[in-house]
Amino acid sequence: MQSRTPVGRAGRPRSAAADTAILAATREALVELGWSKLTLGDVATRAGVAKTTLYRRWAGKNELVVDAVAELFAALELPDRGSLAADIEGVVLQFAAILALPEARSGLMAVIAESTRDEALRARIRSSIVEPQKHLVLEGRSRAQARGELPPESGSEHATRTADLIFDIVAGAVVHRSLVSAEPVDTQWTQAFTRLLLNGLSAATTI
């Protein structure tokens, strides 16, 4: 599991307890109030801290919400279930369970919508939510190679491009299924998706 501490401004040492309380309060406010009505003042009250404490850590609401959502996805882990297919199924189901949380749905959809008008916010989403989770692909590939399920990569640049593509395929499919189509990511769908991922279009006739 990867943990992420928001980058603060220079000054007094950060309080991990305050960070935890603030991020939890942000997610609570997202569920109860929605993006448009959420304010840093309300989050500060819920977290039991001064508003200045928030502004020392986050420049504004966008950055705060991204970090609050990122903390949820930091809990993702790649289970060792004995095979590449089983490992993929395990992490997909974990990912879908996180997306099913009201605070994850509200926060992720809100920051994605806002990021269409804000390049800095898009960059923060990439650095805080997307990039930290790519280790799951690298870990899964390395484990599968050690088992003899996958061949070694031909070079580091190719390996990086492949890992990025795999991540985009998995994350894109699960996010679309969960949040856009609003269809269940259950065991049956996950197994069919994993077969397609591993075997390509030749597996489509068996789905």
Rounded Cα gap, residues 104 and 70, in angstroms: 9
User: What value does the mean pLDDT take over residues 88-117?
Assistant: 93
CATH architecture of the region 70-206: Orthogonal Bundle (1.10)
User: What value does the mean pLDDT take over residues 79-108?
Assistant: 94
The residues, ordered by sequence, that sit 6+ positions from 25 with a Cβ below 8 Å of its Cβ are 43, 44, 46, 47
Look up residue 67 and give its two tokens.
């970090």
The pLDDT, as a whole number, for residue 158 is: 80
pTM: 0.84
Rounded Cα gap, residues 183 and 198, in angstroms: 22
pLDDT at 123 over 50: yes
Look up residue 30 and give its two tokens.
């997202």
Closest among 149, 161, 140 to 91, alpha carbons compared: 140
Domain locations along the chain: 70-206
The pLDDT, as a whole number, for residue 9 is: 47
Dihedral pair phi/psi, residue 38, rounded to 5°: -70, 130
pLDDT at 145 over 70: yes
User: What value does the mean pLDDT take over residues 150-175?
Assistant: 88
**What b/e readout covers 39-74, taking b as 16+ CB neighbours within 10 angstroms?**
ebebbbebbebeeebbeebbeebbbbbbbbbbbbbb
The residues, ordered by sequence, that sit 6+ positions from 10 with a Cβ below 8 Å of its Cβ are none
- Rounded to the nearest angstrom, the gap between the alpha carbon of residue 198 and the centroid of all alpha carbons in its chain is 22
pLDDT at 160 over 90: no
In the structure, what pLDDT confidence band is assigned to residue 10 with cuts at 50, 70 and 90?
Answer: very low
Rounded Cα gap, residues 150 and 133, in angstroms: 21
- Quote the radius of gyration of the chain (alpha carbons, Å): 19
pLDDT at 61 over 70: yes
Asked which of 12-16, 144-148, 178-182 is least confident by mean pLDDT, the reply is 12-16
DSSP 108-169: HHHHHHHHTT-HHHHHHHIIIIIHHHTHHHHHHHHHHHHHTSSPPPS-HHHHHHHHHHHHHH
